Amino acid sequence: MIEVEHVKKVINNKNILQDITFKINPGECVALIGQNGAGKTTLLSCMLGDKKINGGKILIHQQSPKTVSNKKQVAVLMQDNVIPTDFKVNELIQFFQSIHDRPLSLEEVRALLQFTSNQENQLADKLSGGQKRLLAFVLCLIGQPNMLFLDEPTAGMDTTTRQRFWEIVQQLKKQGVTIVYSSHYIEEVEHTADRILVLHQGQLIRDTTPYMMRKEETSKLVTVPIKFLSVVQTFDFIEDLKVSKEFIQFKTNQMEDIFSKLQVAGCTINDLEIQNKTLLNTLFDTTRED
């Protein structure tokens, strides 16, 4: 159980976190999302006890995050995690096994990494950026923590390595590991999170689920050829109109009415491209633009 109550954090006279309150139950996978500068990394650091809060309280298992018992149960992968690059992969595995009371076996570590024998015997510095990130993650798991904090964990990973990362996360969820992570990838949040905490300018503005966010607000993103521009410009129920050389794009909540008018203008179903735009889509679009 993680309890965050009325947490406030001030840095250089600026309110970075304001009155943040929520609870995370054992075994939940919670995504922390929001625009750059919303306070996600600061909140994670406060939850770990690495940053001192200016108000409120944070408890993990009803104790301070900094207690020895909590430190032994928690693993962390922050954005700037760096692995020693002048050691071989198998040497790093052996070292991390040696510092934990009940480490994963070598066979278990290999099953998670899925590295080749050559990759295991080469210097960590020779791995790709995504492989280094995956290795850093698996090294965190060697001590078999029951709680994980991950800050932008798949940043820099290629598609294959990212997929492997989330396969491991799904295994951990089945084992009842509590996971708190931040992400800029909508697919990760939609497919892995049990809950979503949305931060905006240091405030928690939403505590919900991917399912509920998809249901809350659904508009259509419509793309039609440029020849229908004069017709589209007469529509009342559109927003975010974008015009390019070949096509027009806009959002609407009145798709049936819009389509009827487009049909009258000669637009066929083959001319249309329609996508759902949910509140979650909108949030991530804004995050990428920030």
Among residues 160, 182, 214, the one where a domain terminates is: 214
- Kindly tell me the burial class for residue 20, based on how many C-beta atoms sit within 10 Å of its own C-beta (0-12, 13-18, 19 or more): buried
CATH of the domain at 208: 3.40.50.300
Q: Do 77 and 41 belong to one domain?
A: yes
CATH of the domain at 222: 3.30.70
Contacts of 60 (CB under 8 A, 6+ apart): 1, 2, 3, 47, 70, 74, 147
| Banded pLDDT at 290 (limits 50, 70, 90) | very low
Q: Do 147 and 14 belong to one domain?
A: yes
Q: Do 41 and 183 belong to one domain?
A: yes
Q: Higher model confidence: residue 121 or residue 290?
A: 121
Q: Do 92 and 188 belong to one domain?
A: yes
Q: Higher model confidence: residue 80 or residue 267?
A: 267
**Angle 129-141/89-98 helices, nearest 10 degrees?**
20
Q: Do 148 and 235 belong to one domain?
A: no
Whole-angstrom distance, CA of residue 171 vs CA of residue 60? 23
Q: Do 280 and 242 belong to one domain?
A: yes
Residue 289 has pLDDT above 60, yes or no: no
Domain hosting residue 31, numbered range:
2-214
Among residues 184, 214, 244, the one where a domain terminates is: 214
Residue 273 has pLDDT above 70, yes or no: yes
Among residues 214, 234, 250, the one where a domain terminates is: 214
DSSP three-state, residue 280 = helix
**Mean predicted lDDT score pLDDT of the chain:** 90
The model's pLDDT over 67-110, given as tens digits with 9 standing for 90+, comes to: 998 888 999 998 876 788 889 999 999 999 999 999 999 999 99
pLDDT at 280: 62
pLDDT at 281: 63
Q: Do 127 and 32 belong to one domain?
A: yes
Number of domains in the chain: 2
Q: Do 158 and 269 belong to one domain?
A: no
pTM of the full structure: 0.78
**Residue range 140-162: mean pLDDT, rounded:** 91
Q: Give ∠ CA 180-116-93 in degrees, rounded to 5.
A: 55
Q: Do 176 and 258 belong to one domain?
A: no
10, 32, 36, 115 from 46: Cα distances, Å: 12, 14, 17, 34
The model's pLDDT over 185-236, given as tens digits with 9 standing for 90+, comes to: 877 888 889 999 999 889 998 898 888 877 766 678 899 999 999 999 999 8
Q: Do 230 and 274 belong to one domain?
A: yes
The model's pLDDT over 24-64, given as tens digits with 9 standing for 90+, comes to: 999 999 999 988 888 999 999 999 999 999 999 999 999 99
pLDDT at 217: 62
Q: Do 19 and 88 belong to one domain?
A: yes
Q: Do 135 and 235 belong to one domain?
A: no
pLDDT at 279: 58
Residue 276 has pLDDT above 80, yes or no: no
Instruction: Show the DSSP H helices in 80-220 as ranges.
Output: 89-98, 106-113, 117-120, 129-141, 159-174, 186-192, 210-216
Percent of the chain scoring above 90 in pLDDT = 68
